[in-house]
C-alpha cells in the first residue's frame, strides 16, 4: 500500500503542467487557478482539473476570499520535495552565461519560506563555522553558543524548538548544489531580514535584494559579505 501511494504521488507531481504549478508556488504566495493556468500554459479548465487532483492528495490547499479561490502548498514537505526534484536536473556540460536578469535569482531568493541561492549557502556556512549549529543525523542541532547568539540576534529559539516542524535542516540548493538552511529557524531568519529591511522581495518573484543596511548587519552578526 505504501508503494502504491508513492507511485500515485509521483504520478501527480510528474505531470508537466502540475510540476510547473508547484514550482511557481515556491515563492510562498497563493495563486488563483487562472494565474496557475497561465504559468503552466494550459487552459483554465485543464488547470482546474489538475488543481483538484492535487488538493485531493493534500499536495495543495485552497482558501476562499470573496469570489476567488487561492491555491498554496498543503504542507511544507511539498515545497521541500519540489526543491529536491530540481536537484535531479543534470548540470550543463558547457557553462551558460545567464542573462543579467537571472543573476539575482541565483544569488539571493526565497525557497518557499527561507533564504536560498548563494546568500543562503553563505549564511548556512557561517552558522556552522561559528559553531552556532552542528550537523547531526542530517539535521542541525543548536549549540549553547548558538542559543546565546540567536537571543542577541533577536530570535527566540525556545519558541521555535517547541514547534512541530523541524527546527533546522539542510536543504540542497539547486543553483549552488550545496545546502542552505531550512526549517523554523530559517523561516525566522528570513522574517527578521524582511522586518529589519535587510532584504526586500522583488515584485511578484522569489528574488530578494540585500540592502546596504542588511549587508552591514549580516557582516556584523556573522562576519559575511553578501
For the stretch 156-188, pLDDT in tens is 999 999 998 899 999 888 778 788 999 999 999
Residue 104 pLDDT > 80: no
Tell me how far CA of residue 109 lies from CA of 70, 112, 115, 124, in angstroms: 23, 9, 6, 14
Q: Which three-class secondary structure state does DSSP give residue 81?
A: helix
List of long-range contacts for 202-207, beta carbons under 8 Å, 24+ apart: 202/104, 204/27, 204/29, 205/27, 205/105, 205/109, 206/26, 206/27, 206/28, 206/105, 206/109, 206/110, 206/111, 207/104, 207/105, 207/108, 207/109
For the segment 128-147, the average pLDDT, to the nearest whole number, is: 94
Which tops the pLDDT comparison, 78 or 95?
Answer: 78
What's the pLDDT band for 85 if we cut at 50, 70, 90?
Answer: confident
Task: Please tell me the least confidently modeled range out of 35-44, 62-71, 183-192.
Answer: 62-71
Task: Tell me what pLDDT residue 220 has.
Answer: 95
Which tops the pLDDT comparison, 87 or 183?
Answer: 183
For the segment 205-214, the average pLDDT, to the nearest whole number, is: 91
Task: Tell me what pLDDT residue 186 has.
Answer: 97
Task: Tell me what pLDDT residue 142 has.
Answer: 97
d(Cα 144, Cα 166) in Å, to the nearest integer?
18
Task: Tell me what pLDDT residue 173 has.
Answer: 84
Cα-only R_g, the chain: 19
Neighbouring C-beta atoms of residue 145, cutoff 10 Å: 13
Say what percent of the chain tops pLDDT 70. Answer: 92
Is 13:59 a contact under the CB 8 Å cutoff?
Answer: yes
Domain annotation for the chain: domains and CATH numbers: 1-87 (1.10.10.10), 109-222 (no CATH)
d(Cα 132, Cα 168) in Å, to the nearest integer?
11
Residue 93 pLDDT > 50: no
Is 47:21 a contact under the CB 8 Å cutoff?
Answer: yes
For the segment 90-105, the average pLDDT, to the nearest whole number, is: 48
At 96, list the grid cell: 551558460
Task: Tell me what pLDDT residue 189 has.
Answer: 98
For the segment 77-101, the average pLDDT, to the nearest whole number, is: 64
d(Cα 106, Cα 117) in Å, to the nearest integer?
5
Task: Tell me what pLDDT residue 92 has.
Answer: 52
Round the average pLDDT of the chain to a whole number and report it: 87
At 78, list the grid cell: 511539498
Amino acid at each position: 500500500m505504501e508503494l502504491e501511494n508513492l507511485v500515485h504521488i509521483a504520478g501527480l507531481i510528474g505531470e508537466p503542467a502540475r510540476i510547473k504549478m508547484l514550482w511557481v508556488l515556491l515563492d510562498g504566495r497563493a495563486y488563483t487557478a487562472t494565474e496557475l493556468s497561465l504559468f503552466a500554459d494550459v487552459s483554465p479548465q485543464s488547470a482546474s482539473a489538475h488543481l483538484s487532483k492535487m488538493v485531493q492528495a493534500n499536495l495543495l490547499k485552497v482558501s476562499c476570499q470573496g469570489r476567488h479561490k487561492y491555491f498554496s502548498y498543503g504542507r511544507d514537505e511539498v515545497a521541500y520535495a519540489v526543491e529536491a526534484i530540481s536537484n535531479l536536473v543534470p548540470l550543463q556540460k558547457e557553462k551558460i552565461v545567464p542573462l543579467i536578469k537571472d543573476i539575482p535569482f541565483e544569488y539571493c531568493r526565497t525557497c518557499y519560506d527561507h533564504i536560498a541561492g548563494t546568500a543562503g549557502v553563505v549564511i548556512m556556512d557561517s552558522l556552522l563555522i561559528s559553531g552556532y549549529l552542528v550537523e547531526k543525523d542530517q539535521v542541525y542541532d543548536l549549540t549553547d553558543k548558538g542559543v546565546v547568539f540567536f537571543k542577541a540576534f533577536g530570535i527566540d529559539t525556545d519558541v521555535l524548538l517547541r514547534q512541530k516542524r523541524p527546527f533546522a535542516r539542510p536543504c540542497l540548493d539547486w543553483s549552488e548544489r550545496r545546502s542552505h538552511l531550512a526549517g523554523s529557524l530559517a523561516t525566522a531568519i528570513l522574517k527578521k531580514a524582511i522586518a529589519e529591511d535587510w532584504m526586500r522581495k522583488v515584485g511578484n518573484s522569489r528574488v530578494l535584494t540585500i540592502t546596504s543596511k542588511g549587508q552591514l548587519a549580516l557582516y556584523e552578526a556573522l562576519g559575511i559579505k553578501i
